[in-house]
Amino acid sequence: MGKTYLGYEPKQGFLLPPSPEEWLPSGHLAYFVQDVVGELELGEVHAHYERERRGAPPHHPEMMVGLLLYAYCVGVPSSRKIERKTYEDVAFRVLAAGNHPDHTRLSEFRRIHSKALAKLFKQVLQLCIEAGLVKLGHVALDGTKLKANASKHKAMSYGRMKEKEAELEKKVAELLSAAEKADAEDDARLGRGNKDEELPAELRRAQTRLKKIRAAKAALEMEAKAAAEQEKEEAAKEKAGEPPDEGDGGGGGLPSHRVAHTKDGVPTDKAQRNFTDAESRIQKTNEGFIQGFNGQAAVDAQRQVIVAQALTNQSPDVQHLVPMVDLIEENCGALPEKMSADNGYFSEQNVACLERAGIDGYLAAGRDKHGDKPQPVRGRPPSNLTVKQRMARKLRTKAGHAVYARRKAIVEPVFGQVKGARGLRQLLRRGIEAARDEWALICTTHNLLKLYRFGAA
């Protein structure tokens, strides 16, 4: 007799359990997402379909929201992959309840309800607060650079645009001259008005490229002019002793990248614009330069819940602290007792902002060399210290060093979980508003996972 094996009949028909609630282990993330979606307020999404009663019935909003939330939780943001998962993955089949929305419908749902999906961040954060996952004892702030859905090789500097414009103008003129000569020969050979060919392909390509470069060049010039005018207004307000406007006015007080320009509002030769996503910018990272955005996250120390999030195309972090403090208060109804951030956020204005808000701030005033251990200090600080010296001294005290040392363990693992564990390093949507909404969705699902793991624990 041969070896006995467990039964294996791949052609044998069998039935799944009659209820989808038995298809996965109890307590599975898919069931949790399904339960949470049932508690969320989706009135804005439903209202969209109530206004339009024509056409075929749409997929149920709760199913579509559940699929998207679960997909981002497990690092599958692609609508094509989500569609495929509804056939191949049991968890997606459970959430879809036997439906298979195609990728175009999934993509359109995400686009149409972009703002409503972004607003889920506050709702899920409120669930975390109610569950006791947020204490606001210590909040750490940091930023991470996210790739845009655009290549940095599709960006062109203003100086290069001027060169290419001149080259293409010359080429188009030469091709037009050649085309006119060919037309004259055709008229002589075939009779006036009859041609062998349409416009040459090379001429069409050159004209299209010239049109794109001229449009990008004009847009850069408009941005540079607007930036110069804004700076003049700010200088006038400062001279008059008026408080400056916060941010760019278009992102809730958040900063916005300004095109490098001369005093006359003309772009410098190094000013760039990307042809694929014009609102993304070149961002410096530890791995080199990318075309992307700057994602900000304020993280509570209790359970690494994100209590405020934002996204801009401004690479430096320093101008993000004040609006992020405002967002924490708006989202949580209170301010943290302590707040820490690395040296990228340090400025005298930011220190003053934290002091006015009654927040015990810990902002690194400089970058320590690797391996250096600053000597601890004791006693009262001298009265003649500058703001920067006072903050540096505070972080060298035993208590200050202990608080600031926690910063890395609070905020940096969050970016590791988002970009490493879930693989969400690149945004799919283009334009800064769409990118902001997608970053909000990513942060929402981070908090959703924290809530799920807390319940499981």
pLDDT value at position 373?
66
Q: Which long-range contacts (CB under 8 A, 24 or more apart) does 163-168 make?
A: 164/209, 164/213, 165/210, 165/213, 165/214, 165/217, 168/206, 168/209, 168/210, 168/213
3-state secondary structure of 221: helix
Q: Is 434 exposed, middle or buried (0-12, 13-18, 19+ CB in 10 A)?
A: buried
* Residues β-bridged to residue 26: none
What is the tens place of the pLDDT at every residue in 205-262? 877 887 888 888 888 788 888 888 888 887 887 777 776 655 444 455 898 888 888 8
Residue given tokens 């060093």 in the structure block: 401
Widest CA span in the chain: 100
**What is the spatial distance between Cα 39 and Cα 233, in angstroms, rounded to a whole number?**
47
pLDDT value at position 109?
94
**What is the spatial distance between Cα 18 and Cα 232, in angstroms, rounded to a whole number?**
70
On whether the CB atoms of residues 335 and 155 are closer than 8 A, the answer is: no
Q: Which CATH number fits domain 134-150+281-444: 3.40.50.720, 3.30.465.10, 3.40.50.10190, 3.30.420.10?
A: 3.30.420.10
pTM of the predicted model as reported, rounded to 2 decimal places? 0.87
Q: What percent of the chain has pLDDT over 90?
A: 56
Cα of 55 vs its chain's centroid, Å? 34
pLDDT value at position 371?
57
What is the tens place of the pLDDT at every residue in 378-389? 777 788 889 999
Taken in order 323, 328, 333, 335, is the CA torsion positive or negative?
Answer: negative
* Residues β-bridged to residue 89: none
Residues of the chain predicted below pLDDT 50: 194, 196, 247-250
Taken in order 98, 102, 103, 108, is the CA torsion positive or negative?
Answer: negative
pLDDT value at position 170?
83
**What is the spatial distance between Cα 130 and Cα 132, in angstroms, rounded to a whole number?**
5
pLDDT value at position 196?
47
